[in-house]
Amino acid sequence: MSNLEQAPQQDFDFWDYVTCSRCHLSFTPDNGGPPPVPFWVTECGHVVCNNHLRTDQSCAKCGQRDIQVAPLQRDMDPPMSNWFSSAPQALDTLAFTTRFQIESLASLVRYYKRKCAHQRSLIERMRPAIQENKDLRRALEGVQNETCQSQNYMEPSGMPNGNGKRQMLQISRYRISAL
């Protein structure tokens, strides 16, 4: 344990440190009232007071051209409002988001692992039936071949002989395939 005493955690309000990027005029005056002039936030990430807002749509801090600006106020919509939230609050939100996403993905992985295990067990249960089916097909093919050979089945060939008739051939010469 450390002998250093920890200071009580105070709420950090970033708005107390928001100033114009050019003249450093404070957005939050010492009296706590509204800002003395309107403030703007640029898409390039700078804050400027109304005194330094340029009409040529360039940033007073970095000079970037054709930028969009939005009025700076405490109740802005995300994502710009996120720029002004306290870092601990933003980290808590990020930690919650990360935990939520990881738990969702882990749940999905667990679901597919169970599903995969179930499919594997079905395949293992089907292996004897698959082997039995193969054995039955082989037996059926053997019986068909024996039957054809013992009965000397005859079938006309596809080629006519000299007198225009087709010669009869024994089927046993040809392999009969099983279903």
**For residues 88-126, b (16+ Cβ closer than 10 Å) or e, as one string?**
eeeeeeeeeeeeeeeeeeeeeeeeeeeeeeeeeeeeeee
CB–CB of 48/24 below 8 Å? no
Average pLDDT, the chain: 82
Give me 73's structure tokens.
């106020």
Cβ–Cβ under 8 Å, residues 15 and 28: yes
Least confident of 23-32, 35-44, 46-55, 108-117: 23-32
pTM: predicted TM-score of the whole model, two decimal places: 0.49
Q: How confident is the model over 127-166, as pLDDT tens digits? A: 998 889 898 898 888 877 776 555 556 666 677 777 877 7
Task: Report d(CA 136, CA 151) in Å as an integer.
Answer: 22
The pLDDT assigned to 141 comes to 85
| Cα distances (angstroms) measured from residue 69 to each of 4, 56, 157 | 45, 12, 90
Q: For residue range 50-76, list pLDDT tens digits in order.
A: 999 998 989 999 999 999 999 998 888
